[in-house]
Amino acid sequence: MKNFKLYMIACLLAVLGLAGCQKQEFTPPPIGEKVPYQDTLNTTWRQALAQSDAKLFYQAWQRSHMDSLIRTLNTTGQAKFTVLALSDAALQAGGYDAAKIQSMPVRDLDTLLTYYTLRERITPATLAATNENYIAYSLLTRAPLKVTSTTTLNTGATFVPYVYKQYLQLKNGKTYVNGKVAGSGKSATAKDGCIFFLDNMVFKPTKNILQIIQTDPRFSMFLAILTYSDQLANDTITKVGRVMNNRAVPFDKEFSWTPKSTQNYVYFTTAFLPTNDAFIAAGFNTLDDLKKFARRGKPTIVTGTGNNKTLYGFYAIDSLLTYHCYWGMRLYNTGAIFPGSPYTSVYGDYNAPVMYSNILDNSIVQNYVIINSLAYPPATGPNYTYYVPFDFSRNASGNIQMRVKGSEATPATITEADIYTLMGPIHAVDHLLIPKGFKIR
């Protein structure tokens, strides 16, 4: 009983800690799409769940601690919740039949159900008001991970417990969760919450981006050149004798959780990662080919007053990788956005965009801000706004294609979308995202 009370207190603190920090990544104009749903405003969501066809889900709920957890979180009686209720077929396909549910440890049922229970009332009207994904926080945390308390990084960020998020959308009569169709649009709106009925389970990520690419042979060349580029950076840092802003955190470390004092934290992002086929299509048949290219260009070391050294520009390999994993903010000899700028001066607070495949459309994401009002020089220069740097389209087969804005390079096709990680989705692409005017040879 003592452990259970501690468990409830931990869940309560985690959810209350996020109550003031939810933030939509951006709000596009409403589209007014009508979505069918069942009006049950005279009942509670708990009653609607008990009366629904989600019998196995309700069986799991009855065996779990969920009712006690909800009461703990709802001390005022005013709290509202949304439940993503799985159909019997969905649970059975995931290995959860009646016998399994009846024999499972209750704590495992709690973990399953808190992932599908959201901390606010989200209705079909809520989702129909936007063509972007609606970001909802579940009741499931993942200790000891921490995340930034805002959608921007770097300045004054505090860290809160990692909470699993669900990215929701209603489109063409379908319920999307984290980029994939999960239901047929069926829901039950109650006076104190809402239920969306799902026909498919929603995968729960357990690995960061680096852990995924380390175990997927499609990304072996990318991982190898990633490691090599970080070795180059470390060598240059040693020569300069000072830390290079951001490059002090190597590419591979940005794809994993990094120690922050005595805690672990991650940030959210989207990675458009090149497969081995993407490198081969660009003429890089071996890792040695990539290493030769990597040595083609590097930052310039400039000695100033008092023997103070500054790095200008970036590595050629940075330009080859930057749009795949860093939103185009590391370009050789351009200082990313500002030509000739010091390596250490081109970064402002930037948003951490999570873009699942269901919103990879110019009409939705073209005005999404990556860096807002970045000034260069920092004290006196004009402010710049840096937006998502990609154009998205569809080929004849309906596959998503993308390339850097203004680039004449062959568009990259997303060969597998929405590879789930704790940090956001990976989209595998079959061509390199070549910047405008950039010459590989």
Q: What angle do CA 84, 365, 187 make, to 5 degrees?
A: 20
Do 226 and 258 belong to one domain? yes
Q: What is d(CA 232, CA 67) in angstroms, rounded to the nearest whole number?
A: 55
Do 114 and 163 belong to one domain? yes
Check residue 290 and give its pLDDT.
94
- By percentage, how much of the chain surpasses pLDDT 90? 55
In a domain, 1, yes or no: no
For the chain, the average pLDDT equals 81
Amino acid at 27: T
What number is the average pLDDT over the span 366-370? 87
In a domain, 439, yes or no: no
Check residue 326 and give its pLDDT.
79
Do 213 and 313 belong to one domain? yes
What number is the average pLDDT over the span 185-214? 95
In a domain, 128, yes or no: yes
Do 286 and 218 belong to one domain? yes
| Other residues' Cβ atoms within 10 Å of the Cβ of residue 162 | 20
The DSSP 8-state label assigned to residue 309 in this structure reads E
What number is the average pLDDT over the span 179-197? 97
Do 178 and 215 belong to one domain? no
Q: Which of 55-69, 266-280, 317-331 has the lowest mean pLDDT?
A: 317-331
Residue 153: pLDDT over 90? no
Do 93 and 215 belong to one domain? no
Q: What is d(CA 247, CA 330) in angstroms, rounded to the nearest whole number?
A: 9
Instruction: Considering only CA atoms, give the Rg of the chain.
Output: 24
Residue 221: pLDDT over 90? yes
Q: What is d(CA 431, CA 433) in angstroms, rounded to the nearest whole number?
A: 7
Among candidate residues 400, 213, 207, 236, the one with its CA nearest the CA of residue 321:
213
| Owner of token pair 């209750």 | 106
Do 50 and 159 belong to one domain? yes
Amino acid at 390: F
| 18 token code pair | 């996020």
Residue 421: pLDDT over 50? yes
Last residue of a domain, one of 175, 198, 221: 198
Question: What are residue 390's DSSP bridge partners?
Answer: 404
Band (pLDDT 50/70/90 cuts) for residue 312 is low
| 253 token code pair | 């470390």
> What CATH number does residue 102 fall under?
2.30.180.10
Inter-residue contact 166 to 136 (CB < 8 Å)? yes
Q: Which of 174-178, 192-196, 293-297 has the lowest mean pLDDT?
A: 293-297
Q: What is d(CA 148, CA 52) in angstroms, rounded to the nearest whole number?
A: 38
Do 189 and 242 belong to one domain? no
Residue 133: pLDDT over 70? yes
Residue 386: pLDDT over 70? yes
In a domain, 355, yes or no: yes
Q: What is d(CA 174, CA 374) in angstroms, rounded to the nearest whole number?
A: 39
Do 242 and 316 belong to one domain? yes
Check residue 244 and give its pLDDT.
39
HEC profile for 235-264?
HHHHHHCCCCCCCCCCHHHHCCCEEECCEE
Last residue of a domain, one of 198, 229, 245: 198
Is 335 or 54 the better-scoring residue by pLDDT? 54
| Beta strands 400-404 and 412-419, pairing class | antiparallel
H/E stretch holding 272: strand 271-274
Residue 428: pLDDT over 80? yes
Band (pLDDT 50/70/90 cuts) for residue 256 is low
Last residue of a domain, one of 198, 220, 249: 198
Q: Which of 17-26, 211-220, 246-255, 328-337 has the lowest mean pLDDT?
A: 17-26
Check residue 28 and give its pLDDT.
39
Q: What is d(CA 307, CA 116) in angstroms, rounded to the nearest whole number?
A: 58
**Most confident listed range (13-17, 35-39, 63-67):** 63-67
Band (pLDDT 50/70/90 cuts) for residue 7 is very low
Check residue 245 and give its pLDDT.
38
| Other residues' Cβ atoms within 10 Å of the Cβ of residue 119 | 21
What number is the average pLDDT over the span 70-87? 95
Q: How many domains does the chain have?
A: 2
Burial of 348 (0-12, 13-18, 19+ CB in 10 A): buried
The DSSP 8-state label assigned to residue 318 in this structure reads H
Check residue 432 and give its pLDDT.
97
| Beta strands 263-266 and 271-274, pairing class | unpaired
Residue 33: pLDDT over 50? no
- DSSP string covering 69-116: HHHHH-TTS---EEEEEEPHHHHHHTT--HHHHHHS-HHHHHHHHHHT
Do 226 and 181 belong to one domain? no
| Beta strands 263-266 and 134-148, pairing class | parallel
- Domain region containing 117: 20-198
Band (pLDDT 50/70/90 cuts) for residue 417 is very high
In a domain, 289, yes or no: yes
| Beta strands 159-171 and 174-177, pairing class | antiparallel
Do 245 and 190 belong to one domain? no
Do 303 and 273 belong to one domain? yes
Band (pLDDT 50/70/90 cuts) for residue 17 is very low
What number is the average pLDDT over the span 363-392? 76
Question: What are residue 15's DSSP bridge partners?
Answer: none
Question: What are residue 394's DSSP bridge partners?
Answer: 400
Residues with Cβ within 8 Å of residue 233, at least 6 apart in sequence: 244, 247, 250, 315
Is 172 or 236 the better-scoring residue by pLDDT? 172
Per-residue model confidence as pLDDT tens digits over 283-300: 999 999 999 998 877 766
pTM: 0.82
Residue 12: pLDDT over 70? no
In a domain, 204, yes or no: no
| Other residues' Cβ atoms within 10 Å of the Cβ of residue 323 | 26
Check residue 21 and give its pLDDT.
43
Check residue 296 and give its pLDDT.
79
Q: Is the dihedral of CA 367, 371, 372, 377 positive or negative?
A: negative
Residues with Cβ within 8 Å of residue 261, at least 6 apart in sequence: none
- DSSP string covering 204-217: ---S-HHHHHHH-G
Among candidate residues 185, 127, 137, the one with its CA nearest the CA of residue 161:
137
Q: What is d(CA 83, CA 105) in angstroms, rounded to the nearest whole number?
A: 21
Q: What is d(CA 419, CA 179) in angstroms, rounded to the nearest whole number?
A: 10
| 294 token code pair | 């990597």
Residues with Cβ within 8 Å of residue 155, at least 6 apart in sequence: 349
